[in-house]
């Protein structure tokens, strides 16, 4: 019987094979079927939001099955609240990593106490979760209304204000982050077809800016079209998707970009190492967390799903905390010694990109 590590590895490979198939069909992350609330999967019973690879697993399940509810939980958790999984439904596998254990020791006075010991080789386990729509008689979900034009403009202004690097709007056609100058250059906002398109481009370039050595410190020197450039683009694109969902920004079909220039390179990177996608998801989560954290330090989010959504007020918090990582400890990917060490070179870019939303400051020459 396969152990947890083998099961997780097989599931990862199956997921990446599915993603490669999507890319070979000419798309990834730009399908209009995405529902923004469902892209922020969380567990109302344990008050946990799913992160990184687990988040992407559930996001892809949303796309595949057409779910609109962002709530996920284990069958046992639903059962403890009096609900039952519909006949024939199957759960989605999520990973859980154990980084430490408790051991009993004696202090200098000979008294017995406990302490946490960091494991040299973290242990992996897994669990399966079900969407609320897979549950019998579970209250239906009503998504919050989209931002009004004024609300979205305010969110964009706040995102710009909390950027860690200067953002300049210039009368030119390119949108890009310059690693050497540590600044974002955008076409003027009025050149975009709408505020959402501007916001998408803005957040994408801000995702690149998080790779600066003083921030998340990712490699940023790959030439356009190189594998390293494509890897960074993949991180920025997933990171932007996470950030847009966390900020409550909805995209329509018209707001999705054509990634055909990158798909071939992405496919090559994923075929070489299926764990590369999970490295990218882990980095993307860090990107989103940094941008949203900077935002919330100064401004309050307007569209954020509650830990216990309004459609299920009777689901009180807290059975089990199902997290991928533990605060203050190494990330899952840093600890994946049994799966594979992270590639030495990860990302590099920060060069030109097609115009997109980005900042609102006076024009300035490069």
Instruction: Please tell me the predicted confidence (pLDDT) of residue 16.
Output: 92
pLDDT for residue 366 is more than 90:
no
pLDDT for residue 332 is more than 70:
no
Instruction: Please tell me the predicted confidence (pLDDT) of residue 66.
Output: 85
Task: Give the β-pairing of 183-187 and 112-131.
Answer: unpaired
Task: Give the β-pairing of 167-170 and 183-187.
Answer: parallel
User: Which of the four pLDDT bands, split at 50, 70 and 90, describes residue 144?
Assistant: confident
Please tell me the distance from the alpha carbon of residue 56 to that of residue 52, in angstroms, as a whole number: 6
Q: Is residue 84 part of a domain?
A: yes
Instruction: Please tell me the predicted confidence (pLDDT) of residue 264.
Output: 75
Of residues 121 and 243, which shows the higher confidence score?
Answer: 243
Q: Is residue 359 part of a domain?
A: no
Tokens at residue 360, please? 């609102």
- Count of domains for the chain: 1
> Helix, strand or coil for residue 285?
helix
Residue 227 per-residue DSSP state: H
CB 130 within 8 A of CB 77: no
pLDDT tens figures, 174-230: 999 999 999 999 999 999 988 988 999 999 999 999 999 999 999 887 887 788 888
Please tell me the distance from the alpha carbon of residue 99 to that of residue 5, in angstroms, as a whole number: 15
Please tell me the distance from the alpha carbon of residue 236 to that of residue 290, in angstroms, as a whole number: 13
pTM to 2 decimal places:
0.77
Instruction: Please tell me the predicted confidence (pLDDT) of residue 139.
Output: 85
The residues pairing with 112 across neighbouring beta strands, listed in sequence order, are: 106
pLDDT for residue 326 is more than 60:
no
Instruction: Please tell me the predicted confidence (pLDDT) of residue 172.
Output: 94
Instruction: Please tell me the predicted confidence (pLDDT) of residue 127.
Output: 95
Q: Is residue 360 part of a domain?
A: no
> Helix, strand or coil for residue 243?
helix
Tokens at residue 94, please? 């999520």
pLDDT tens figures, 234-275: 899 899 989 998 998 886 655 555 555 667 778 888 888 889
Q: Is residue 325 part of a domain?
A: yes
Q: What is the largest CA-CA distance in the chain?
A: 73
Q: Is residue 161 part of a domain?
A: yes
User: Which of the four pLDDT bands, split at 50, 70 and 90, describes residue 64?
Assistant: confident
**DSSP element (H, E) containing 112:** strand 112-131
Which residue range(s) make up the domain with 119? Answer: 4-353
pLDDT tens figures, 299-321: 998 665 444 444 444 444 333 33
The residues pairing with 124 across neighbouring beta strands, listed in sequence order, are: 97
**How confident is the model over 283-309, as a mean pLDDT?**
82
pLDDT for residue 118 is more than 70:
yes
**Could you tell me where the DSSP H helices lie in the chain?**
4-24, 52-65, 75-80, 149-161, 195-209, 227-247, 260-272, 275-296
Task: Give the β-pairing of 167-170 and 48-49.
Answer: unpaired
- Give the rounded percent of residues in the chain with a pLDDT score beyond 90: 44
Please tell me the distance from the alpha carbon of residue 55 to that of residue 263, in angstroms, as a whole number: 21
Question: Quick one: 105 exposed, middle or buried, by C-beta within 10 A (0-12, 13-18, 19+)?
Answer: exposed
Of the candidates 306, 285, 251, the residue with the CA atom closest to the CA atom of residue 34: 251
User: Which of the four pLDDT bands, split at 50, 70 and 90, describes residue 34?
Assistant: low
> Helix, strand or coil for residue 196?
helix
Question: Quick one: 307 exposed, middle or buried, by C-beta within 10 A (0-12, 13-18, 19+)?
Answer: middle
Instruction: Please tell me the predicted confidence (pLDDT) of residue 72.
Output: 96
For the CA atoms of 354, 53, 247, 232, the dihedral, rounded to the nearest 10 degrees, stands at: -20
> Helix, strand or coil for residue 77?
helix
The residues pairing with 336 across neighbouring beta strands, listed in sequence order, are: none
Maximum average pLDDT range among 80-89, 92-101, 143-152: 80-89
């Amino acid at each position: 019987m396969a152990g947890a590590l083998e099961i997780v590895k097989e599931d990862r490979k199956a997921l990446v094979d599915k993603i490669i198939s999507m890319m070979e069909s000419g798309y990834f992350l730009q399908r209009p079927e995405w529902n923004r609330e469902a892209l922020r999967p969380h567990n109302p019973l344990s008050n946990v939001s799913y992160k990184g690879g687990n988040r992407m697993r559930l996001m892809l399940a949303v796309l595949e099955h057409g779910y609109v509810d962002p709530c996920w939980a284990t069958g046992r958790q639903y059962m403890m609240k009096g609900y039952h999984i519909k006949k024939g439904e199957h759960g989605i596998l999520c990973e859980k990593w154990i980084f430490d254990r408790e051991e009993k020791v004696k202090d200098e006075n000979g008294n017995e106490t406990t302490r946490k010991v960091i494991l040299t080789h973290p242990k992996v386990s897994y669990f399966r979760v079900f969407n609320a729509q897979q549950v019998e008689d579970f209250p239906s979900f009503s998504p919050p209304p989209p931002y009004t034009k004024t609300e979205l403009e305010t969110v964009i202004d706040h995102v710009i204000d909390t950027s860690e690097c200067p953002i300049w709007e210039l009368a030119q056609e390119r949108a890009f982050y310059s690693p050497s100058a540590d600044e974002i250059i955008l076409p003027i906002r009025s050149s975009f077809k709408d505020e959402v398109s501007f916001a998408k481009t803005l957040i994408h370039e801000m995702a690149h800016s998080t790779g600066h050595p003083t921030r998340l410190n990712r490699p940023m020197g790959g030439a356009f079209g190189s594998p390293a450039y494509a890897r960074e683009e993949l991180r920025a694109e997933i990171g932007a998707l996470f950030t847009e969902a966390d900020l409550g920004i909805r995209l329509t079909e018209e707001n999705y970009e054509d990634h055909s220039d990158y798909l071939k390179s992405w496919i090559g990177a994923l075929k070489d190492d299926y764990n590369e996608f999970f490295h990218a998801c882990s980095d993307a989560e860090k990107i989103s967390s940094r941008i949203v954290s900077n935002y919330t330090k100064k401004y309050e989010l307007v569209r954020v799903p509650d830990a216990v959504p309004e459609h299920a007020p009777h689901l009180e918090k807290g059975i089990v905390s199902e997290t991928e990582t533990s605060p203050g400890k190494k990330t899952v990917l840093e600890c994946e010694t049994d799966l594979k060490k992270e590639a030495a070179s990860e990302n590099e870019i920060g060069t030109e990109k097609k115009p997109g939303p980005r900042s609102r400051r006076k024009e300035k020459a490069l």
